[in-house]
Chain A
Amino acid sequence: MKASEDWWALWIGLLVFALSLCTLAGRDLLGWGVTTQVWLSPAKALAPVSKAYAVLPGVASLALTYLFLLAVMTGGAAALGLDAKRFAAGFSVILWASWLCWLAGNNAYVAATPDKRAGFGIGWSLSLTGEAGFIVALAAGLAIGNFLPGVATWLAEATRPEWYVKIAIVVLGGALGVQAAGARGLATAVLFRGFAAIVEAYLIYWALVYLIARRVFRLTREWAAPLASGISICGVSAAIATAAAIRARPVVAIMVSSLVVLFAVVELVVLPFAAEAFLVHQPLVAGAWMGLAVKTDGAAVASGAITEALLRARAAAAGITYQEGWMLMTTTTVKVFIDMFIGVWAFVLALVWAYGIRKDEGRTVSARDIWERFPKFVLGYFVTFTALLGLVVTRPGLLDAAKLASAETNVFRVLFFVMTFFTIGLVSNFAKLREEGIGRLALVYVVCLFGFIVWIGLAVSWIFFHGMEPPRVG
């Protein structure tokens, strides 16, 4: 089997998921994983996730979590053909730096929502919830990536935001499955509407961006098609798949991908706060918007997490407690559907280019091309989602064990998310924007992204998700 990040994201995600499922048989194998709680005293910040390991000191729990992840990820890196020693060293730094950012974001003055301040004995807080740690991690990564390029280069072997977020998404599926079991009607509606939203986005986004790139900015087909896919669909993967489908030179995909990554960070910093300002009463519209507008899996899911934190905090201030996870589920649903269709769209473009533009003789495009470009980690998301959803629906007596299993996988999901934010920052060198030759592409990108992609994404999200709310707690 071909070793790829995609496959190894699937295997590692499923490994964590499978270990967590042992709780269903009364065996708690991952309960030592560390959770980081909102804190005033650092000594109280750490604890094992499961009561079965309550005697374990928080620091020991953290050390075990690190060693487990180091072993699994280094094994995966070796299987991918990476330099295992360099990866292990870089991964260790990234994990610890990311976790410290997460810890900082969980400080009570940063994270505590208004209803929790009295419990901590504090009179004010930023009310950002613990997810503020994501923003801290992004800022730290950006600082290193832009001001300490030597350090960023040293960490390069383990700087793999897409790998980390794909593992997180596989793991996330199980937790969302447990939640969806409690509100099956809403979950089904989110799934279908997410599918509908991306069908619309694909058909409208790509055609408009391509038309503008060709007619207004006069780019050649070789540049316009990957750029249209990169801006309109899902960033790096779509740009690379499209470039391959139309047989563009490798440099085209590389330059478009650089732009995608850089602008995804801009979106990640701006759009969740825009959603907080304007969509506080439409939480699922906000979640879907992040999935449609923010490019790259990592930045999109990260934006969904920040958006959820911001909107839940605002709702809590108004006395409404939304069940956690629904906005993120909407973002993730939209994103995985987008990923699923990259292969199909690349297939369509390959046909058009082969038979309508290049008119290649003897060129055939097979269904195998679709499968090769299909993002395999998406399978993992659906497997874990449907497995726990089906389990809890058919055997309600296992609900508590399933909740513990999802809490245990959540330990690793959070760590992979934080590492995603940190490494997105590391790879985002804004000086690249000033490089000669990328200016015109960047201009197309800015015009299309902020001129209509973001707004059409908002309109499509509104059409399919307005009026929908996560279940309320209490």
Chain B
Amino acid sequence: MRPDLSDEPLLPAEVKLITWSLVLGVVLLGLLVWVSEAFFAAG
């Protein structure tokens, strides 16, 4: 069973999914690091 190659263009829904996922990831990174340091200190 050979995986299909594609001429399927990226649909707007796929672009949105990828973009939102990455943007949310970056934004949440800052927020979660702050919460970790402020409320769940390592020491």
Chain A positions near chain B (C-beta within 8 angstroms) = 185, 188-189, 192-193, 196, 199-200, 202-204, 206-208, 210-211, 214-215, 218-223, 251, 255, 352, 355-357, 436-438, 440-441, 463-468
Contact = CB atoms under 8 A, between A and B. Distances in A.
B11 A220 contact: no
Nearest to A463: B33
Nearest to B23: A203
Nearest to B8: A220
Given A193-B36, A437-B3, A463-B29, 19 more contacts: A185-B41, A189-B36, A189-B41, A192-B36, A200-B29, A203-B22, A214-B6, A218-B6, A220-B4, A221-B6, A223-B4, A352-B14, A355-B13, A356-B12, A356-B16, A436-B2, A437-B1, A441-B3, A467-B42
Interface in B15-33: 16-19, 21-22, 24-25, 28-29, 32-33
17 contacts: A188-B40, A189-B40, A192-B35, A192-B39, A192-B40, A196-B35, A199-B32, A203-B25, A207-B17, A210-B18, A214-B6, A215-B10, A222-B4, A223-B3, A255-B3, A357-B14, A438-B3
A204 B25 contact: yes
A204 B2 contact: no
B18 to A, nearest CB: 5
Q: Which 3 A-B pairs have the closest CB atoms?
A: A356-B13, A203-B25, A207-B21
Nearest to B12: A356
Given A207-B21, A215-B10, A357-B11, A200 B40 contact: no
Secondary structure of the A side of the interface?
helix
Nearest to A349: B17
Contacts of B10: 214-215
Contacts, number: 101
Contacts of B12: 356
A99 B16 CA distance: 51
A192 to B, nearest CB: 4
Contacts of B18: 207, 210-211
A206 B19 CA distance: 11
Given A199-B28, A436-B2, A352 B17 contact: yes
Contacts of B19: 207
Contacts of A465: 42
